[in-house]
Structure 1
Amino acid sequence: MTNLNHISPDNLQITFQTMRAAYNAQPAPSYAERVTVLKTLKASVIKHEQAIYDALKKDYGYRSEFDTLIADVLPSVAGINYALKNLKKWMKPSKRHAGLMHFPSSVKVHYQPLGVVGVITPWNFPVFLALGPAIQALAAGNRVMIKMSEFTPNANQVLREIVKELSEHIQIIEGEADVGAAFSALPFDHLIFTGSSAVGKLVAKSAADNLTPITLELGGKSPTIIDDQISMDIAVDAVILGKSVNSGQICVAPDYIFVPEARENEFISTFIERYTQYHLNGENQNSQTHIVSERQYDRLMAFIEDTKSKGGKLHPVKAIENDAGRRVYPHLVTQVSEDMSILKEEIFGSILPVMTYNKIEEVTRYINERPRPLALYIMSKDNALIDYLLNNTHSGGVSINDTAMHAAADDAPFGGVGNSGMGHYHGYEGFQTFSKAKTVLHSSPWLPKNAFILKNRDFVYKILRKFLLK
């Protein structure tokens, strides 16, 4: 099968039909066959590790190998290892209770491959956000087509090499917006999109024309809540990790902070001091990742100018340097107002609004009046407060005294809610997402159950009413 760069919509259709034919020729791959595919993919990812680092450095201008390791390479390998460990159990039909109504028949649920799965990948973690869903779709026995972002051309080429031996199972698609639109319009058996809410709505509309089931992994404004007792060092370290990986270009990055009014200055000074210690004064060779493109850099600069023009106070860790490429160190913002763009749009970068509160109800009211976020972060050791926030807010996931790390949990579902997405993947839930849970009722032919029911309907009627209408 030929890999095509920047494919035309016509050739895209041909590729889809070829993948559909490959699935139809083998609609129920065995456990051993799926394991072979996954092991081949794992070996290839490890083989191309350095190539992945080099490619993403080129795509970003500079990208920390640390960021690429923990956010692209390791989770891809870990996802394969987890699927290999659990696949046999996942594939096994699950027994269900048949009940008196179906006695003596048995009921099981079989998990069947869907067919051809489409994956639309963003630029921020192009390797893992391509391979993560693909791994689970392959484990479920599907064929996969992956539409890569046009903003990571070097990473795309490495990914082509990674899946080269698996062309009958995975196809890499590249192209501009017209190809993306044509891709989302294909009659996939499942389509997963990771990206912005605005584009996610367009993908959902396109998929609806084919009644294609979708998983949307979107973003939104993920809040961090710091209480009045937690060590500020602990809270700040968690925020720095979540905001500095990929320079905050991550869907689960902390988007804004709620801190008690009396601790605002403590948070700002601690953040600047500790960020400087970790990223500017240390001996780490992995310096901060650049912003991926001029377009994204200009967007962040526009946020900063908008904030200044509307009375916001900036607290930069370090001033932006003209000779530093597209590196933007964190800018904390206080004295924010609702008309500022940083409170209306997902930031997806190194800017961090800081808001204050006196009562926790102010925080939950603010969060609940806005679209539901992909993540929520709680910095506290007060179990009553933690329970209150868990029960009185909605979010795709939660980390307590940590940020972003819940997204890397292999044995737990990951997904948004409302404006931040729909559906889940990762873990067993990912296998289920890319499988058809098919109920199979098995009645033995030697027992004339149906004849008995038909001949004795009055008796069966009385028995069913007596024992089941309770």
Structure 2
Amino acid sequence: MNPFFQLDSLFNSQKRAFLAQPNESLSIRLSNLNQLKRAILENRKALIKAVDADFGGRSEDETNIAEIQVCIDAIKYVSKHLKKWMRPSSRKVGIVYWPAINKVEYQPLGVVGIMSPWNYPIQLAIVPLIYALASGNRAIIKPSELTPETNKVLQHIVEKAFPLERVALVEGDAEFAAYFSSMAWDHLIFTGSTRVGKKVMEAASKNLTPVTLELGGKSPALVCEDFDIRKAAQRICFGKCVNSGQTCIAPDYALVPKEYVNRFLEELEYAFQDMYPSVVDNQDYTSIISKEHKARLEKMIEDVKLQGANVIQLNPANEDFSKTKKLSLHLVSGIEGEPDLMQEEIFGPVLPIIAYDTLADALHFINARPRPLALYCFSDDKAVQRAVLDKTQSGGVCINDTLFHLIQDDLPFGGVGESGIGQYHGPEGFLSLSKAKPIHIKGRFYTGHFFYPPLNTMLKKMLKKIFF
């Protein structure tokens, strides 16, 4: 069957199913979430094996913790709070409109499109689905073509848990993805690069489709002079090396006080060696997704070398990386100008270190660039923390650590500016995929006729006192 025709057919069948049952009960939504959880757990081993095959070496612990467990925790969290979220909220009525009732009800939108990337192919497909189902919507997932083995398992999971009229998964190339983003979704969630995100938003705008764009950018790690350099190095090294830096919120570069740069480089080397005594055959260290992505990273490294930067490859076991898709952590300091390394999101295990003189200089450096998806501030000084929070804008902030703000179920997740639009996770995830419908109900004693023209003089005087 023609894939475009198949997609249209799926979309129309889900739309019809939604219109036939437009506002499902709490019990149905909880049942849907429970079915999804059961299917994920039953296929845990298959998911781990599939992601490993797609990457050509993916840490089992990373897949378990950063993907599968994140999904299970999200289902548990949403299931616990869904009743409260679905409950209509009462709102105040202005005195001149009494007697009446004001309330807001949260209504499902309809059919949600989900476009997920390759770097976390389970989490970034399933977590948006969790919030779509919790909000009472239907959903069609379009995963990345770079993870075909994972897609097969995800296909099996959604087919086992749901009829096609509720959840479906479709695959296709860039042309298919462009068509997917141009459809008249009731909401479209896209996770990926800023470059592609702009195209998705342009396509969606033709139907006035509301979008949630989870993009990326260059997320800074700001090390302040009061913070322990060793601890900062360990935590930044961890955040940069999880999934080999192929994480949208990975620390992209580090800002370090000028006098501590050399010590910071040393501590990063110690931290990397402790975590990864070897790399090539180390099952804890994930491969780069493809040869093309590895070549892109290697070109970035070579370009800054030619421009005079100092590049240190951390290679504790003195291994040869030429015949593997793995790439060990590279530290880059002494950068001059604005090379590609400082223009593009790196998305790999390469960490530029930028020296700064004052906190004001560091904040100016951050604010001179597009607003990042994440910002990491390492300081125990409350005044410094406050200054960083007040004087920067980012999708999210993690103080004295990296990455962990993403997996706090009760916090929203989303970007700002070029790092994204909208948010999901937490109560905000439910609200993003619901229509907050305002409802005004008049009482039996009707006062509306007092506002019919012509207004009498006494009423005009009374209204003038109330309103002005």
TM-score between the two structures when normalised by the length of structure 2: 0.96
Which secondary structure state, in structure 2, belongs to the residue aligned with residue 376 of structure 1? strand
Matched residue, 2:184? 187
1:195/1:217 contact within 8 Å kept? yes
Amino acid at match of 1:411: D
Separation of aligned partners in 2, 1:103 and 1:327? 69
Q: Residue 320 of structure 1 contacts residue 327 of structure 1 at CA under 8 Å; is this kept in 2?
A: no
Which deviates more from structure 2 when the two are superposed, residues 206-215 or residues 233-242? 233-242
Q: Could you tell me how far apart the structure 2 residues matched to 1:442 and 1:324 are? A: 70
Structure 1 pair 291/116, CA: closer, same or farther in 2 (3 Å)? same
CA contact (8 A) 2:248 2:347 kept: yes
**Of 140, 148, 153, the match for 1:145:** 140
Residue in 2 that maps onto 1:277: 274
Instruction: For residue 280 of structure 1, give the secondary structure of its aligned residue in structure 2.
Output: coil
Letter in 2 for 1:117: V
Are residues 1:166 and 2:165 paired? Answer: no
Q: Is 1:417 aligned to residue 404 of structure 2?
A: no
Query: What is the correspondence of 1:381-420 to structure 2 with a 5 Å cutoff?
Result: 381-420=380-419
1:455: how far off? Answer: 7.6
Name the SS of the counterpart of 1:160 in structure 2: helix
Counterpart contact for 1:338–1:344, Cα < 8 Å: no
Partner of 2:258: 261
Residue 324 (structure 1) shift = 5.7
- What per-residue deviation string (whole Å, max 9, x for no partner) do you get for residues 304-354 of structure 1? 111111111111111662466211111000111223111010000000000
Aligned residue for 2:66? 71
Alignment-mate amino acid for residue 417 of structure 1: V
Q: Distance in 2 between matches of 1:460 and 1:72?
A: 63
Instruction: Give TM-score scaled by structure 1 length.
Output: 0.96
Q: Deviations over 1:99-149 (max 9, x none)?
A: 124211110000000000011100000111011111001000000011110
CA contact (8 A) 1:320 1:329 kept: no
Is the deviation greater in 293-302 or in 146-155?
293-302
| DSSP-derived class of the 1:159 partner | helix
Q: Secondary structure at the match of 1:457?
A: coil
Tell me the matched-pair count.
Answer: 462
Report the equivalent of 1:467: 466
- What corresponds to 2:311 in structure 1? 314
Residue of structure 2 in register with 1:19 after alignment: 14
Q: Give the Å deviation of 1:396.
A: 0.5
Q: What residue identity is the alignment partner of 1:40?
A: Q
Cα contact 2:99–2:446 (8 A) shared by 1: no
Q: Which residue of 2 aligns with 1:438?
A: 437
User: How much has 1:465 moved relative to structure 2?
Assistant: 1.6
1:393-452 per-position Cα deviation (integer Å, ceiling 9, x unaligned): 1111100110111111110111100010111110100000000000000112x2132234
Cα displacement string for residues 201-250 of structure 1 (whole angstroms, at most 9, x for unaligned residues): 00000000000001111000000111112111211121022111100000
Return closer, same or farther for 1:180/1:320 CA change in 2, 3 Å cut-off: farther
Q: What percent of counterpart residues are identical? A: 41
Q: Gaps spanning 5+ residues in structure 1: where? A: none
**How far has the Cα of 1:456 moved from its partner?**
8.0
- 2:212–2:420 CA contact under 8 A, matched in 1: yes
Distance in structure 2 (CA, Å) of the matches to 1:448 and 1:181: 53
CA shift for structure 1 position 169: 1.5
Amino acid at match of 1:96: R
Quick one: distance in 1 between partners of 2:245 and 2:186?
33
In the alignment, residue 166 of structure 1 is paired with which amino acid? F
Deviation at 1:8, TM superposition (A): 1.5
2-structure distance, mates of 1:273, 1:248: 18
In structure 2, the gaps of 5 or more residues are none
**2:386 is aligned with what amino acid?**
D
CA contact (8 A) 2:258 2:356 kept: yes
Q: Matched residue of 1:219: which SS? A: coil
Is residue 107–residue 434 contact of structure 2 (8 Å, CA) maintained in 1? yes
Q: Which amino acid aligns with 1:345?
A: E
Identify the range of structure 1 (202-211 vs 64-73) with the bigger mean alpha-carbon deviation. Answer: 64-73
Do 1:61 and 1:325's aligned partners in 2 also have CA atoms closer than 8 Å?
no
Tell me, in whole angstroms, the C-alpha distance in 2 between the residues paired with 1:285 and 1:260: 33
2:28 is aligned with 1:33 = yes
The CA distance in 1 between the partners of 2:17 and 2:325, in whole Å, is: 44
Partner Cα distance (1:17, 1:435) in 2: 20
The letter of the residue matching 2:447 is: K
